[in-house]
Structure 1
Amino acid sequence: MPRPAVRERLSPWPFAGMVGLACVAFLIGATGVAVGAPWWALVLLALVWVAALLVAVAWFTSRPRAVVLLPVAVALVWFATVVGGARWLGWSA
Structure 2
Amino acid sequence: MALTRRRRVRAVAVDPATGRRISPWPFVGLVLLVSSFFLYAASGLLAPLWAVAVLLLTWLAMFVLCFVWWTSHPRRTVVLGVLSFVWWFAAITAGGVLLDWTA
TM-score grouping bracket, smaller chain normalisation = 0.7 to 0.9
Answer yes or no: is 1:7 the counterpart of 2:53: no
**4+ residue runs of structure 1 moved beyond 6 angstroms?**
none
In angstroms, what is the RMSD of aligned CA positions? 1.7
User: Which of the residues 59, 74, 83 maps onto 1:64?
Assistant: 74
Tell me the TM-score normalised to structure 1 length: 0.84
User: Which of the residues 44, 50, 54 maps onto 1:44?
Assistant: 54
**Structure number having the greater helix percentage:** 1
In the alignment, which residue of structure 2 is the partner of 1:29?
41
Structure 2 gaps of 5+ residues are 1-15
Larger radius of gyration: 2
Q: How many residues align?
A: 88
Percent pairwise identity: 43
- CA drift of 1:74 comes to 2.1
2:29 maps to amino acid: G
Structure 1 gaps of 5+ residues are none
Note closer, same or farther for the CA distance 1:88–1:6 as it changes in structure 2 (3 Å cut): closer
